Structure 1
């Protein structure tokens, strides 16, 4: 796990804000239910980060790292109430944010997910 987080941290630092990234670069299944032409990656960054955490692939993670940077992703993730435990622990570790600062830590769902692993 440490090697994975170190790799992601270094990759995101090297590639942060490089090149032009569009919605078409992300996996097709991420935005299947919305009109992709209406998504603005800067305006809708909370929506994009939430989708990548919930059902994104490694390539999608690399794209948001390049687009927003680890610290911005961490700040966005802090506001997601239903962030799953693995994503919560992962972003807290690599962004160096205390787990207690996340809304998903302080407000647990009244009915937890069916398969919680």
Structure 2
């Protein structure tokens, strides 16, 4: 299946702010994966897992500077990778917020 066919199968709310036709799955992999992890449905997760593969997703997510705690817990559990290996987890620990509401 081509990247354009994958894009058409994603939930409409995921990429509402960009033109889907101009979205390059390989060049914008970090953007696509982060968006799906934070706002996607299970079907969206299955699409990126099929396209990228779990090892590549984990490698990309490890480099993210910020990620919602729920998404981090999910990718950590699915890949059996400790949270401490993700940059978003260690960066958050090093830079605590003064007021966390």
TM-score of Structure 1 vs Structure 2, range by shorter chain = 0.7 to 0.9
1:62 aligned to which of 41, 46, 49: 46
C-alpha offsets along residues 25-46 of structure 1, whole Å, 9 cap, x if unaligned?
1111111011111101121111
Between the aligned partners of 1:94 and 1:22, the Cα distance in structure 2 is 22
Q: Which has the higher contact order (CA 8 A, sep 6+)?
A: 1
The TM-score, its normalising length taken from structure 1, stands at: 0.72
Secondary structure of the residue aligned to 1:88 is helix
2:29 aligned to which of 20, 28, 45: 45
The number of residues matched between the two structures is: 96
**Unaligned regions of 5+ residues in structure 1, if any?**
1-18
The TM-score, its normalising length taken from structure 2, stands at: 0.82
Q: Displaced runs of 4+ in structure 1, greater than 6 A? A: none
Between the aligned partners of 1:29 and 1:36, the Cα distance in structure 2 is 12
- The structure with the largest helix share of the pair is 2
